[in-house]
Structure 1
Amino acid sequence: MFSALVVNGQPQPQPHPHEQGELPVPWWSFTKTVLATTALSLVRDRVIGLDDLVFDQPYTLRQLLRHEAGLADYGELGEYHQAVANGESAWSVDEMLKRLDGARLRYTPGAGWRYSNVGYLLIGRLIERLTDLTLEDAVNQRVLAPLGLSNVRFAKTRADLKTNHVVDTLNYDPAWVYHGLLIGSVSQAALFLDRLFCADLLSAGLLTEMRGARTLGGPIPGRPWIARSYGLGLMQGTLEGGYALSGHTGCGPGSAIAVYWVCDGEVSASGAAFQVDASEGAVEAIVVEQLMQALRQTLKGL
């Protein structure tokens, strides 16, 4: 298990820091938070508005970011899961959309909610169109570099995932993650979230918009949340005791990652955990425990 913790902007020492925090791992769907931040930097610069329609479709950027656009998800396809399990190369985007009937909206935009990786594929395309850059260059220039993050990149080939002993046996084509798959250390993931909320990359108003969430329901067995919601590229979970965490959980073949931020008055903390052969709930529980412990210890010392 790899873990990292940042308290009030300061990375906290972890046991065996190289093994625990610095080796690159797949960020899985935490990539969505990075893509959402990149899109919001374009809103900040008045290149696009959150409630502007995109791609001549009846949904807005806000609805794409919050999974309210009416789109389906290729994770619903049995043949997708079978192809991944067989170690096959990813289908082309056109083939995936054809198999999914991806252009057909499943509900009126804004009237429902359905987690959709396809929506974030479109967000990536929108970023490229509006910046006239590759997605990787846009993410680096608009988000990663301004936040002082290094050694975070998109995995494009199977070889890109064979970077350490954790995933070096994984025969997985990262092109299956159609919106792009970032890889980096868990320490960089924790720093990203800390600096997103505590630095000035986005205005306070945009961060409020980002955390403006659609309520999804109550507890799920095996997960630490008593209530769940989804903002703009942010999963949000409420704990017993009232703390609300913002971040994202992600999973892929053989591993899971969770990255969350919490604030209590003058104290803020970001935590990240990555584990092989773990469930989403298991890594979430690790992050929740380290964040609650950090809050207790720091508040006690004030």
Structure 2
Amino acid sequence: RHRRPSSGLRRRVDRHRHLHRPWQKSRSCIKAETGPPYGGRPLTGYDFSLRQLLGHTSGLPDYYSLASYRKGVAANEEPWPAAQLREAAMAQGRLFAPGKGWFYSNLGYMLARDQIEDVTQQSFSSLVKQMICDPLSLRSVELALTRRDFDRIHWPSASGYHPGWVYHGCLTGTAVDAAKILHALFMGELLNAPTLSEMRIHHPLGGAIEGRPWTECGYALGLMSGRCGEAGRVIGHSGGGPFSVNAVYHFPDLPTPITVASFTDGKNEGVAEFAAVKAALRD
């Protein structure tokens, strides 16, 4: 079962900016189970695999590190053409050879989305609907494409934001549906057991982080994965942007495994993470 979010968030529509990562990985794995190529082979035209893109071991830089990108977002400018974004990001240079390090790269997720759409010959939004939302009977989740799509977001400061700045895709929906999706993933409703097990293999990244509940940190395929003290293992994703932060996590070590979705305003992901852990332990 999933934990219903508290603090009146049941009917609010929130931005699931960073929750697209486990969903994106889930779609990749679903397609692997039904035919198209997936996994460890280098992608055509590249020296890294889809697995390395999703696990952040491709060596690609991140586009958020570009000062001009952050300036454009802050000034509420129109998003750059995708080709311009890729060129600017890659001008920073490769960080390491594929598989020889770890660095969080939104550019990698952008390329992963392109690969998924190329292989399936379907749009990102269609795949989300067909492979995740329809099977789980979810009605709130949508891919935001225009400024107007953010009119339904709970946070007043979200008004006018252009989701095109999130080049790998920006999904919106209720906190309840965010929790339902992640819970369904870990309950085996979206992937078979071997594929889900592969998705959960993580790359250790260290211990505690000041101001956040993590006591052990790592990253799996599209999933932040570690431990949070007495809550035990915690798997899911945190995220943030110009006006809100979120933490949507599954807690498999509790007597009854649950999933919690926590959204709040501000820019401190630790606030949402602590709230998620507290809610999980209170259940």
Equivalent positions of 1:201-212 (< 5 A) are 201-212=190-201
Residue 298 of structure 1 aligns with which residue? none
Residue 200 of structure 1 aligns with which residue? 189
2:10 corresponds to which letter in structure 1?
G
Number of corresponding residues: 283
Q: What is the CA deviation profile of residues 169-218 of structure 1, one whole-angstrom value per residue up to 9, with x for unaligned ones?
A: 53321100000100000000000011111133201111111110001111
Equivalent positions of 1:60-75 (< 5 A) are 60-75=49-64
Q: Which runs of 5+ in 2 are unaligned?
A: none
Q: What is the CA deviation profile of residues 10-60 of structure 1, one whole-angstrom value per residue up to 9, with x for unaligned ones?
A: 554846xxx422221111111111111111111122312311221321111
Q: C-alpha distance in 2, partners of 1:107/1:11?
A: 40
Equivalent positions of 1:108-127 (< 5 A) are 108-127=97-116
Q: C-alpha distance in 2, partners of 1:283/1:117?
A: 21
Contact 2:55 2:221 in 1 (8 A): yes
Whether 2:19 is the aligned partner of 1:21: answer no
Residue 297 of structure 1 aligns with which residue? none
Q: C-alpha distance in 1, partners of 2:154/2:13?
A: 10
Whether 2:135 is the aligned partner of 1:143: answer no
Residue 275 of structure 2 aligns with which residue? 286
1:219 corresponds to which letter in structure 2?
A
Residue 23 of structure 2 aligns with which residue? 34
1:148 corresponds to which letter in structure 2?
S
Residue 224 of structure 1 aligns with which residue? 213
Q: What is the CA deviation profile of residues 42-88 of structure 1, one whole-angstrom value per residue up to 9, with x for unaligned ones?
A: 11223123112213211111111101111001111111111111111
1:271 corresponds to which letter in structure 2?
V
Q: C-alpha distance in 2, partners of 1:109/1:229?
A: 18
Contact 1:255 1:276 in 2 (8 A): yes
Contact 2:203 2:218 in 1 (8 A): yes
Pairwise CA RMSD of aligned residues?
Answer: 1.8
Q: C-alpha distance in 1, partners of 2:211/2:255?
A: 31
SS in 2 for 1:145: helix
Equivalent positions of 1:91-170 (< 5 A) are 91-101=80-90, 104-167=93-156, 169-170=158-159
Runs of 4+ in 1 over 4 A off after TM superposition: 10-15
SS in 2 for 1:21: coil
Q: C-alpha distance in 1, partners of 2:35/2:119?
A: 11
SS in 1 for 2:9: helix
Q: 1:244 aligns with which of 229, 233, 236?
A: 233
Q: 2:165 aligns with which of 176, 180, 199?
A: 176
Q: C-alpha distance in 1, partners of 2:231/2:264?
A: 27
Q: 1:54 aligns with which of 33, 43, 51?
A: 43
- Go from structure 1 to structure 2 and tell me whether the alpha carbon gap of 1:103 and 1:14 turns closer, same or farther (over 3 Å shift): closer
Task: Tell me the TM-score normalized by structure 2.
Answer: 0.94
Whether 2:245 is the aligned partner of 1:256: answer yes
Tell me how far 1:237 sits from its aligned partner. Answer: 2.4
Contact 1:147 1:201 in 2 (8 A): no
Tell me how far 1:127 sits from its aligned partner. Answer: 1.0
- Go from structure 1 to structure 2 and tell me whether the alpha carbon gap of 1:235 and 1:284 turns closer, same or farther (over 3 Å shift): same
Q: Percent identity?
A: 33
SS in 1 for 2:77: coil
Deviates more, 1:186-195 or 1:28-37: 28-37
Tell me how far 1:242 sits from its aligned partner. Answer: 6.7
Q: C-alpha distance in 2, partners of 1:132/1:196?
A: 24
